[in-house]
Amino acid sequence: MKKTSSSSIRILLADDHAVVRAGIRQFLEQAEDMCVIAEADDGDDAQSLIAEHLPDVAVLDIQMPKATGIEVTRWIRKEHKNIGVLILTAYDEAPYIMAVLQAGANGYVLKTASPQEIIQAVRNVHAGNSAIDATIMQKMMAQITVNQEMQPIEKLTEREMDVLQLVGKGFTNKAIGVQLSISDRTVQGHLAHIFNKLQAASRTEAVMRAVSLGWLSPDLA
């Protein structure tokens, strides 16, 4: 097992195929700043190991026995909000994508991505940024556009846009408060209004919707 340093990104890897886990672990640990601290072969095991080890990032497949990656993501957002969630899967259908992002995942990458792309996705999630595969981004935008045509979106206030731009840059609520000279509670209030207006269930989904509307630059997503 690779030795963990204080600066390493500590990763929990969950996939029900041992060969797949071994391959992912091998190239993740070739990165000097990463260490896989635990592996799980089903959703229940993933939750137990996450609670025990408190990794920085959980890399999850969607389809797993006992609890899916979507269910584990919802549990993480409820119990361990600071843990980053990267979905690494073969599924690229819009319903899976939207369900995962609504559950609160920070990133969604296909297993067909290159090792370097997956490594960078882990780094992005650890830094508090979104990590969305280009193919997934296109499907998301198409789905969001359809949803918006069915449900008109209420415009954000200038201050709400300021908050959302900083969310897109990966700032935490506390850092946003410092940047805008407002309290954490005020930031939370703005985010609640943003989520409601954009009909979004997560920071990533809110940013994606704003990008699709042309309110934010795609570079922020």
As its CATH architecture, domain 9-132 has 3-Layer(aba) Sandwich (3.40)
* Structure tokens given for 78: 């409820």
- Residue ranges per structural domain of the chain: 9-132, 142-220
Q: What percent of the chain has pLDDT over 70?
A: 87
The pLDDT score that the predictor gives to residue 87 is 93
* Residue 91 pLDDT level (bands cut at 50, 70, 90): confident
* pLDDT tens sequence across 149-205: 556 678 899 999 999 989 888 788 889 999 999 998 999 999 999 998 888 877 877
8-state DSSP, 138:
H
The CATH number of 142-220 is 1.10.10.10
The pLDDT score that the predictor gives to residue 104 is 87
The pLDDT score that the predictor gives to residue 99 is 82
* Residue 209 pLDDT level (bands cut at 50, 70, 90): confident
* Exposure b/e, 88-106, CB count within 10 A at least 16 = b: bbebbeeebbbbbbbbbbb
Statement: residue 90 has pLDDT above 60: yes
198 or 49: which leads in pLDDT: 49
Statement: residue 23 has pLDDT above 90: yes
Phi, psi of 107 (to 5 degrees): -155, 160
Residues 27, 32: Cα–Cα separation, whole Å: 11
User: Whole-model pTM?
Assistant: 0.66
Determine the average pLDDT of the residues in 55-67.
94
